[in-house]
């Protein structure tokens, strides 16, 4: 859920702009009438490449639903964003899922699970979703000055 009225208004604006540009709202899209900053879980589909939502992150309960015919199309779609925090692959064939994960441009790929973060795992994205990592040994290394000493003989 959005954390403030400003965040909720921004999310509602994203949904309205996307709808004006042609998406279909399958479910939700409205503020819930209760105290706080609540948005109905929202599902949108029919998102064309020229729709603003195609290149935006919606920080709230908004699911952008796409239909593709092939795995290559799905990977192209997943990689067609300026963002790259996390991706998810679900497949009974874990070896195949690893092959798909290798083709995804994301800082983290979860196979057969969602939101499996842990302080022991590195957290971070690529492209406009960040640089470097938080948490784990990789995250701590972001704050360490390392010195190279090389002796030539």
Q: Which regions of the chain does DSSP assign to beta strands (E)?
A: 24-27, 42-45, 62-65, 83-84, 86-89, 108-111, 126-127
Q: Is 82 in contact with 127 (CB distance < 8 Å)? A: yes
Note the pLDDT of residue 116. 80
Token readout for 124 is 């971070």
pTM over 0.85: no
Give the count of beta carbons closer than 10 Å to the beta carbon of residue 72: 10
In the predicted model, is pLDDT for residue 62 greater than 90? yes
In the predicted model, is pLDDT for residue 3 greater than 90? no
Note the pLDDT of residue 1. 65
Summarize pLDDT for 6-59 with one digit per residue, the tens.
999 999 999 999 999 999 999 999 999 999 999 999 999 999 999 999 988 888
Q: At 111, phi and psi to the nearest 5?
A: -110, 125
In the predicted model, is pLDDT for residue 131 greater than 90? no
Average pLDDT over residues 124-152: 81
Mean pLDDT of the chain: 90
Residues of the chain with pLDDT > 70: what percent? 99
In the predicted model, is pLDDT for residue 127 greater than 70? yes
Note the pLDDT of residue 46. 96
């Amino acid at each position: 859920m959005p954390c403030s009225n400003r965040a909720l208004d921004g999310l509602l604006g994203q949904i309205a702009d996307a709808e004006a540009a042609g998406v279909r709202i399958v479910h939700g899209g409205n503020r819930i009438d209760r105290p706080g900053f609540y948005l109905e879980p929202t599902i949108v589909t029919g998102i064309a490449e020229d729709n603003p939502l195609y290149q935006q992150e919606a920080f709230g309960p908004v699911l952008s639903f796409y239909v593709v015919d092939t795995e290559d199309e799905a990977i192209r779609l997943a990689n067609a964003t300026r963002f790259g925090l996390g991706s998810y692959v679900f497949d009974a064939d874990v070896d195949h899922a690893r092959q798909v994960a290798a083709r995804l441009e994301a800082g983290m790929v979860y196979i057969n699970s969602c939101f499996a973060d842990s302080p022991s795992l590195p957290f971070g994205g690529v492209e406009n979703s960040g640089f470097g990592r938080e948490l784990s040994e990789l995250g701590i290394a972001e704050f360490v000055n390392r010195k190279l000493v090389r002796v030539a003989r």
